[in-house]
Structures are given as structure tokens and as C-alpha cells.
A = this chain, B = another copy of it.
Amino acid sequence: MNQPSLPFNQLQHSTPLALRQQIASGRYQGHTSGLGQGRVQANIVILPDDWADEFLRFCTLNRQACPLLDITEPGDPIFRHLGEAVDIRHDVPRYRVYREGVLSEEPSDIAALWQDNLVAFAIGCSFSFEQPLLEAGIVLRHIERGLNVAMYQTHIDTRPTARLQGKLVVSMRPLKAAEAIQAIQITGRMPNVHGAPVHIGDPALIGIRDLGAPDYGDAVPVAEDEIPVFWACGVTPQSVVQASRPPLCITHAPGCMLVTDLHNHAL
């Protein structure tokens, strides 16, 4: 991860709008976990319009991984329902550009790449359910340690469309049993941000070989008296894009989300 020019702790009390302005100006390119005053953060997928309709279909079929928050009109870079002046060309700290399914660059601004046929999708993010978990007194180790959440590609197939298919990506949080039980109940009530976990316990059962080697994000240690708890993750489209190879797809870099003005409690 690039070193952000502005230190993380200087942004912790910024409003979502002020934070987006810092990000749009290029002064912050880091992960957004714990930032944005408890507002909704979003995974981003941008596709040409001839793939966008199919991706919408994919999201509908894979709602636990891809709960949709907003969609732009083709060519319009503004999300109309996520807050004040949300411009998808500038407001994400770091993007990933996939060409024919291959990661080609990680810019902090995509104004130069914008085209009249692009459609942007905002997808709910597990950061939104971390707030009620923290409020319930559950300690989340990656936040405690200032790490990005650990994410893994599983062997679980998503429900495919004509051209889009691939494996489910999950985020993992290590929890004590009583906390895991509580977290399942809390997140089960939040279907717009991935809902209840898809798996608990043995990682091998969903095709994860080594918890210490996440496919995205940072490794987060699991203590002996803890259970790894796995939620469907909005990074899933990136695994799907790599498998399905649309000519162009722009996403956020994992953990570097779009911070909206929506309140988490509204989800």
C-alpha cells in the first residue's frame, strides 16, 4: 500500500464531504477503514454500458456479495443518491484498472480514463456493519491494529450470467465464540451490507488454504480461542472481472472505498 501523504489520524474526524475533498485533491490515497464518521462506504465497479446491464443482473443474482446502493447513468460520473457532489472520477483514494481482466494500473484519479459509455455501481461494504459490531462491544482486531481487513478468494462459485462468472471473495474477522454469535445476529439484520456470514470455522471447507496469506488486504492473526468468521465481500466483482475479462473495468483498490454521506444506521 502506498504511504498516504496525509496521515490517517489527521482525517479521523473529517466529515465525509471534507474527506472526499482531501481524497479528490490527491492528498490521501490510503484505506478508509475507521474514516468517514460512521457513514456508509461503498465498493465500486465501473464498466462500459454493454457490460453494465449484465453486471446489474449479476448483482441481483449475487446479492449477498453485491448489495447495490446506487448506479450512475451511462457517461454521468456523479452518484445522485450517495451524498453531496460525489464524483466517481476523483472521490476514491485508489482505483484499480483491469483491462481484459488483467490489473494494469492503480491510479488515485480516473478523470483521464472516463468515457461517455461508463456506468458506475456502488456496492455495500462490510465497513458499514463494523460500526454496530464495535457499538456492541466487539473488538475487531484489524481496526485495533490499523490494518486492512483480510480478504480471501474461496472455492464457492457465484451465480453466473452469460459472460460474468467467478469465485466468491470473503472478508474474515477473528472472533471469540460469544462475539461470533452476536455478530451473526447483528449482521443478519443488515442485508444491504452483505448480511450474515457465509461461513464460520474451518477455512479449508470453503477453499482457503492459509489464513496467513490473504488474497486481498492484510493478514490478521486468529487466536487459539477464536473462530474465523467469513462474510461475502464486495471485492467479489474483482475476482469475477479477472475471470470474465471485460475490455475495461475500473474498481476501488481493496479497502480504499468511496465514503458516502449515508448513515450506516439507515441500512
A201/B199 in contact, CB under 8 A: no
Please choose the segment from A13-21, A181-189, A237-245, A254-262 that sits at the chain B interface, where 4 or more of its residues have CB less than 8 A away: A181-189
- Does A200 belong to the interface (CB within 8 Å)? yes
Name the distance in Å between A155's Cβ and chain B's nearest Cβ: 14
Contacts of A200 in B (CB 8 A): 177, 180-181, 200, 227
Contact A181 B205 (CB under 8 A): no
A201 and B184 within 8 A (CB): no
Interface size class of A (residues with CB under 8 A): 10 to 19
A97 CB contacts on chain B under 8 angstroms: none
State whether B181 touches A196 (Cβ < 8 A): yes
**Alpha-carbon gap, A247 to B179, bound state (A):** 39
CB distance from A11 to the nearest CB of B (A): 35
- A10 to nearest B CB, angstroms? 39
Residues on the B chain within 8 Å of A178, using CB: 198-199
| A231 → B minimal CB distance (Å) | 10
Asked if A246 is at the interface (CB within 8 A of a chain B CB), the reply is no
- One of B196, B205, B225 near A205 (C-beta < 8 A): B225
Partner of A181, one of B177, B197, B202, B225: B197
Residues 192 to 213 of chain A near chain B (Cβ within 8 Å): 196-202, 205
Least CB distance, A95 to chain B, in whole angstroms? 33
Nearest opposing residue in chain B for A176, CB measure: B205
A226 to chain B, nearest CB (A): 9
Q: Which residues of B contact A205 (CB under 8 A)?
A: 177, 225
Given contacts A205-B225, A225-B205, contact A199 B184 (CB under 8 A): no
Cβ contacts under 8 Å, A202 to chain B: 177, 225
Q: How many angstroms from the CA of A200 to the CA of B201 in the assembled complex?
A: 9
Q: Which residue of B has the minimal Cβ distance to A224?
A: B202
**B-contact bits for A135-179, CB 8 A (1 contact / 0 none):** 000000000000000000000000000000000000000000110
Given A205-B225, A225-B205, verify A199-B177 contact (CB < 8 Å).
Answer: yes
Report the minimum CB–CB distance from A75 to chain B (whole Å): 41
Distance between Cα atoms of A62 and B81 in the complex (Å): 46
Chain B nearest CB, measured from A196 CB (Å): 5
Cβ contacts under 8 Å, A177 to chain B: 199-202, 205
Question: Could you show 5 A-B contacts with beta carbons less than 8 Å apart?
Answer: A177-B200, A177-B205, A184-B188, A185-B188, A200-B200
A-B interface, 5 closest residue pairs, ranked by CB to CB distance from nearest: A185-B188, A184-B184, A177-B199, A177-B200, A201-B227
